[in-house]
Structure 1
Amino acid sequence: MEKVLILLGTKKGAFILEGDKQRRSWALKGPFCNTWPIQHVAADPATGTIYAAGGNAWFGPAIWKSTDLGETWTHSSAGLSYPEGETPIAAAWSLAQGRDALYAGVEPAGLFKSTDEGETWKHVSGLRDHPSREHWQPGGGGLILHVIVQHPDDPKKLWVGISSAGVFHSADGGETWEPRNSGTRADFNPEDQRYPEFGQCVHSLALAPGGGERLYQQNHCGMYRSDDGGRAWTSIEAGLPSTFGFPAAAHPRDPDTLFLLPLNGDIKGRYMPDAKAAVWRTRDGGSTWTALRNGLPQQDAYFGVLRQAMATDRLEPAGVYFGTGGGALFASADEGESWSCLAQHLPAISSVETLVVES
């Protein structure tokens, strides 16, 4: 019998909601990780090991690990450091379990790799060796590598998103990198510099299923799709209530289906448009969009949702989940057609991921 775990990173530790396969009954566990600020919780689907990336300028960075579905935890920061003289790492922000290694993104922006299940870490120095690095500028939350994507069929292919340096791609496992931002706007630049080679503020990247190189990107300045691994991006924001938002979540099986949470704008409060909550779904790769509202609050919804705080599960039909800055967790067991609130009054939710395991 399968069960579903919803993995939450929050400002006061990690939490886990455990539900049955029907996704009707849920139990909350936590907080874990000594209530450290946890930016991202993710799992290795092959082993069930759960990892949590966290820290801040006070605690320093660390990656936590649980091999028993959250019952016990250990953590390590061995190797999570830059050479002496560079700005120290304040926190670990993102995780990705690849076929060959576990990857972590940190602040100030950089990429680290572990080949021993998070016990020790090695800097993937090729990214920060890129000649554009001296020109990288922090976004509103800092200079952070907050999204890591590895191609499921070729572990040497990596994409990362940095605020606000843009999307970078490596075809050789991180030895060398190139910016892949053609077609994405930087509206905050002067008019003649709206489409730079790098410097865009990417918010979220989602790799579509199916083994190709289709990527979806929610940017500070628009919503985009690329069918060639980010070499060229096409706007798919027509029909959306806003060009601004943070998270995007791919369907586990259909490359044309994506779930999105637009907010009302970068300088208008960054909450649900018209204070009415909706998840927007496309079934045709972004050509058209549908607002999914059934069960979501339709008045006074002045909450935001952060860049890693939405996810899908691999069940049929796919479940969709998102967490808010006010500590509420919403879920749909029917691909967004209807919604319920699974938890309230949690700390501000930084990330949402799922894990399906045998009970």
Structure 2
Amino acid sequence: MSKKTMVFVGTAKGGFIFESDAKRQKWQTSDILFKSWNMMHMKLDPRDQRLHAAVSHFVYGPTTHYSDDLGKTWTQAKQVPLITRPSKSGRPASTVDEAFRSEGGEDIKDKPEKMIQVWNITPGRASEPNVLYAGAQPASLYISKDRGETWELNETLFDHPHRGQWNPGAGGLCLHTIVLDPTNEKRMYIAVSAAGCYRTDDGGQTWHPFNKNVRADFMPDKFPEFGQCVHKMTMHPSDPNVLYQQNHCGIYRSDNAGEDWIDIGEGRLPSRFGFPIAVHPTDPRTVYVALEESDEYRMSVDGKFSVWRSRDAGETWERKTKGLPDKAHLVVLREAMATDTFEDAGIYIGTNTGQLFYSRDSGESWEMLADFLPPIHSVEAAVLE
């Protein structure tokens, strides 16, 4: 049976599905999904082929949906993941503002936090069928044990003693990354902007910060225990002790499951600032990032849109530009880079001005897959038999 390549794109005005064969030369495009809804993420569960979408609407609020026919029809989750109580450890700084105060100006410290949107849906491991995880804003983690039909809050992270000291990034206080250790069902990582990386080794009962040697230049203590602004974090399943992160203050690798981090960008890359990071599907030492010139100037470095590739776990980097626009001031958001699973990997990257680029040769050269889309929030890829 021939293989099918699918790319799932979430945008500010809905979602799109692009479909091709294994050659990835000619693409078919779906109609827009969830038209006028903000789609933060769309992810195919490889275990059962159920497609999940995290969407929000300025009138109807945030929710998740699932599809068993690759996006042709959708069902809304029965229990929408809304926060219904205040945290026991205090309200994060991001929610103590005018947007969350009543018209009378009363103190809201003891009132429930307001769910804004779901950022990420992550299928569970093969060893935990029917389980999915979701990260949301304000920073909270949810678990589903029935294939995304209902969700429940992870109470211990929501009540973490650090929570009252977390601060929002420019995108709000969001739990945007969930990384599962495929060899240890009790271990997982989450990343919050701006709180840093936290790890659990007991299936979510307790959480501890894992941010040693990661900078936070915007704080008085440049190397705090927590408070770093992680932009995106990833792991290769064949080497789960090795993690990579693109941070507000650099690019880092951990070789010991997050116990400490090594700066792999300083002196090797022209900028320390960017959002997405991805690892090659078959080579855990090949990593991809898209950089921006600085925190202040969030556009392509030198006005030339590029993808940087390392084939030695960040020791050296190559700037890949073949097929990409020579003069373009583009921005790529944290969820908008993905890979497929071919040996000669497809790499997919979307911009907040609606361009979707892809490579069929592991990042050596690039092509335009789609243009004139709404601002792209997320990109995911899957290969179906």
TM over 0.5: yes
Check the 8 A contact 1:152/1:211 in 2, yes or no: no
Aligned match of 2:54: 53
- Structure 2: gaps spanning 5 or more residues: 86-110
Q: Which amino acid aligns with 1:302?
A: H
Residue 108 of structure 1 pairs with residue 109 of structure 2: no
Check the 8 A contact 2:9/2:380 in 1, yes or no: yes
Aligned match of 1:259: 288
Aligned match of 2:330: 303
Check the 8 A contact 2:79/2:150 in 1, yes or no: yes
Matched residue of 1:33: which SS?
A: coil
Give the Å deviation of 1:34. 4.0
Alignment of 1:277-356 (within 5 A): 277-299=305-327, 301-356=328-383
Deviations 1:238-290 (A, max 9, x none): 3112000000011111111101101111101x111111111100010100000
Instruction: Give the CA RMSD over aligned residues.
Output: 1.2
Runs of 4 or more off by more than 2 Å in structure 1? 56-59
Aligned length: 354
Which of 223, 226, 245 aligns to 2:251? It is 223
Deviations 1:160-193 (A, max 9, x none): 1101011110111111100011110001112xx0
Check the 8 A contact 1:14/1:35 in 2, yes or no: no
Check the 8 A contact 2:281/2:343 in 1, yes or no: no
Aligned match of 2:263: 235
Which of 110, 119, 124 aligns to 1:93? It is 119
Give the Å deviation of 1:58. 3.7
Deviations 1:40-71 (A, max 9, x none): 11111122111111215543221111111111
Q: For 1:83 and 1:321, locate their aligned partners in 2 and report how far apart those are by CA, in whole Å.
A: 37
Q: For 2:316 and 2:303, locate their aligned partners in 1 and report how far apart those are by CA, in whole Å.
A: 22
Matched residue of 2:31: which SS?
A: strand
Aligned match of 1:133: 163
| Fraction of identical pairs, as percent | 45
Check the 8 A contact 1:261/1:280 in 2, yes or no: yes
Residue 187 of structure 1 pairs with residue 217 of structure 2: yes
Aligned match of 1:248: 277
Which of 214, 217, 232 aligns to 2:242? It is 214
Larger radius of gyration: 2
- Structure 1: gaps spanning 5 or more residues: none
Distance 1:242 1:77, change over 3 A: farther
Q: For 1:231 and 1:61, locate their aligned partners in 2 and report how far apart those are by CA, in whole Å.
A: 35
Deviations 1:199-224 (A, max 9, x none): 00000001023143100000000000
Q: Please, what TM-score do these two structures have when normalized by structure 2?
A: 0.90
Q: For 2:256 and 2:311, locate their aligned partners in 1 and report how far apart those are by CA, in whole Å.
A: 19
Q: Which amino acid aligns with 2:329?
A: Y
Give the Å deviation of 1:35. 3.2
Check the 8 A contact 1:263/1:273 in 2, yes or no: yes
Give the Å deviation of 1:328. 0.6
Q: For 2:210 and 2:223, locate their aligned partners in 1 and report how far apart those are by CA, in whole Å.
A: 12
Matched residue of 2:164: which SS?
A: helix
Deviations 1:72-113 (A, max 9, x none): 111226151223431121111111111221001111100000
Distance 1:128 1:336, change over 3 A: same
Q: Which amino acid aligns with 1:346?
A: L
Q: Which amino acid aligns with 2:183?
A: D
Give the Å deviation of 1:30. 2.8
Check the 8 A contact 2:239/2:284 in 1, yes or no: no
Q: For 2:24 and 2:7, locate their aligned partners in 1 and report how far apart those are by CA, in whole Å.
A: 11
Check the 8 A contact 2:181/2:237 in 1, yes or no: no
Q: For 2:249 and 2:370, locate their aligned partners in 1 and report how far apart those are by CA, in whole Å.
A: 31
Instruction: Please state which structure has a larger fraction of its residues in strand.
Output: 1
